[in-house]
Amino acid sequence: MQRVLITGCCGAGKSTLARKLSDVTGLEVIHLDENYWKAGWQETEKAEWTEKVRALASKPTWIMDGNFAGTLDLRIERADTIVYLDYRTITCLWRITRRIVRYHWRVRPDMPAGCPERFDAKFYHYVATYNLFRRTAMLRKLTELSETKRVLIFKNDSETARFLDRCRMSMPIQG
């Protein structure tokens, strides 16, 4: 595992998994949200974003977490491992609610300066409908990719934790 792409619904735990996997592997974490958003929740212009993702993905090693469907193929092309967090909608909604309460009007560690956490009805709607409108296409794409890439799909925290445990056991002991 040299270039790991972590994707899935918002609130599934992509950033958390990326940090934990980085702790085990030593690979750099690239949070796409941190690179996409500008202060005041301003979006990066599409062409600039594509070039930024291309540059990030061209690095020799990384763990990259985030969605951003418009650049998914760029990231998939470079990834050797794809992790899809296929969590239930209710879990994701609960977690984003908890995150908003925890960080309300403060900037999360995986976000850029000037983007404090806040309630956003459009974001809640996106999370509530993610599995309805995006999940099937993603699973189809991942099935096709599994012939050429390592594709891992986790449905809950227990499966994700077992994966991290296997990674810890397979890493050489430092000393």
Q: What are 154-174's pLDDT values in tens digits?
A: 999 999 999 999 999 997 765
In a domain, 175, yes or no: no
In a domain, 8, yes or no: yes
What's the CATH code of the domain at 164? 3.40.50.300
What pLDDT shows up at residue 172? 72
Q: Is the pLDDT of residue 60 over 60?
A: yes
For residue 15, the enclosing domain spans: 3-170
Give the count of domains, the chain. Answer: 1
CA 40 – CA 32 distance, rounded (Å): 16
In a domain, 83, yes or no: yes
Tens-place pLDDT, residues 116-169? 999 999 999 999 999 999 999 999 999 999 999 999 999 999 999 999 999 999
CA 174 – CA 93 distance, rounded (Å): 39
Q: What global pTM score does this model have?
A: 0.95
